[in-house]
């Protein structure tokens, strides 16, 4: 399945149906009179957040959504049928933005089943029966129905995850998420192996939480270098960040600084999020070098550094303990004992 986190669509609610002009004409009925019914209401445009979706790819091929209009009224005071509401299903974490330069956020769907009536259908027009008065016994006017509403909007998906992985390309983020979940992130000995976000569910000590892996950052990502910073939006909702630094880098302190500078340049509070720093790929080093690099990285970050190897498993439980501690009991869910150790409830993107 291809990953798409932005899409532009056109939406239009249904117009109201026209009211009817009708007069009662029945045999043996001495008095007739107007009996035209009102028109039906047009359908609403409703956005609904549903489970099981983690991409906006469907909106690349279907970009226009129109709700049906209401039916016209009829004689015998019959009201026209209302148009059916059009429900547009989107992944949890989808934002609806105005099609303007500012891209104002108009709605943010963050929970499963959340619905938002975005465009309301027009009300039906009045039938001539509703115009009858003591001085106007046979009105022939009627309402045409209220018009619909329409708009172009942007959909932007920000994945919902408890922890986010950040680091330079080839920092070992994909290897780590593959080790702690059964996500199938691509791993390769070249930069930018990961080109799209990955999700996985970690099961640890009877609890589970969601981890997001995004493509690596390089210096100048905020200005579009590499794959840019467009995927950083997927970790805006994370409670904690896991910053992985490759122990084989020439300068681990500089590697740490580059990523932190890009988080700061992006904004959205990423630089202020709790962060756990780990020196990754220590399986390739001896103990003395690990201690020296950890001390250097600790001095640069001002935080404790966890030696880690996603390949050998060294330090993995330590990191998961720290992530659980940062996420807190309100963020982690109780794991289902019937499932496998690394079962994934959210399919990898």
Annotated binding site for GTP: 167-174, 192-196, 213-216, 280-283, 309-311
Q: 263 near 306, Cβ under 8 Å?
A: no
Which of 162, 158, 185, 182 has its CA nearest to residue 173? 185
Q: In whole angstroms, what is the distance from residue 243 CA to residue 240 CA?
A: 10
Residues 6+ apart with CB under 8 A from 45: 11, 12, 13, 65, 67, 85, 86, 88, 117, 118, 119, 149
Strands 240-246 and 275-280, by their bridges, are parallel
* Binding site as annotated, residues: 167-174, 192-196, 213-216, 280-283, 309-311
Q: 263 near 271, Cβ under 8 Å?
A: yes
* Binding site as annotated, residues for Mg(2+): 174, 194
Helix (H) or strand (E) holding 214: none
Structure tokens at 260: 């932190």
- What letter would DSSP give residue 111? S
- Rounded to 5 degrees, what angle do the CA atoms 222, 226, 228 make? 35
Half-sphere exposure in the Cβ direction for 29 (13 Å, CA) = 8
């Amino acid at each position: 399945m291809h990953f798409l986190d932005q899409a532009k669509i056109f939406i239009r609610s249904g117009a109201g149906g026209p009211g009817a002009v009708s007069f009662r004409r029945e045999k043996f009925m001495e008095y007739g009179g107007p009996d035209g019914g009102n028109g039906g209401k047009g359908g609403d445009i409703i956005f609904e957040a549903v489970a099981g979706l983690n991409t906006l790819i469907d909106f690349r091929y279907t970009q226009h959504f129109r709700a049906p209009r209401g039916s016209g009224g009829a004689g015998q005071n019959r009201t026209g049928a209302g148009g059916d509401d059009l429900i547009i299903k989107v992944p949890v974490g989808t934002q609806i933005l105005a099609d303007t330069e500012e891209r104002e956020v108009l709605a943010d769907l963050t929970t499963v089943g959340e619905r938002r009536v975005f465009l309301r259908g027009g009300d039906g027009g009045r039938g001539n029966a509703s115009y009858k008065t003591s001085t106007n016994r046979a009105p022939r006017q009627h309402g045409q129905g209220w018009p619909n509403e329409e708009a172009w909007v942007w959909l932007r998906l920000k994945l919902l995850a408890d922890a986010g992985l950040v680091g330079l390309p080839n920092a070992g983020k994909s290897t780590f998420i593959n080790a702690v979940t059964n996500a199938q992130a691509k791993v390769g000995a070249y930069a930018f192996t990961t080109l799209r976000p990955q999700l996985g569910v970690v099961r640890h000590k009877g609890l589970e939480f969601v981890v997001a892996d995004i493509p690596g950052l390089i210096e100048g990502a905020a200005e579009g270098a590499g794959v840019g910073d467009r995927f950083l939006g997927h970790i805006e909702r994370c409670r904690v960040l896991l910053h992985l630094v490759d122990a084989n880098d020439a300068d681990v302190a500089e590697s740490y600084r580059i990523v932190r500078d890009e988080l700061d340049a992006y904004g959205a509070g990423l630089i202020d999020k709790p962060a756990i720093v780990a020196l990754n790929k220590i399986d390739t080093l001896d103990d003395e070098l690990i201690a020296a690099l950890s001390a250097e990285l600790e001095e640069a970050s001002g935080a404790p550094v966890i030696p880690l190897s996603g390949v050998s498993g060294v330090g993995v439980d330590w990191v998961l303990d720290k992530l659980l501690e940062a996420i807190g009991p309100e963020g982690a869910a109780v794991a289902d004992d019937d499932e496998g150790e690394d079962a994934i409830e959210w399919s990898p993107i």
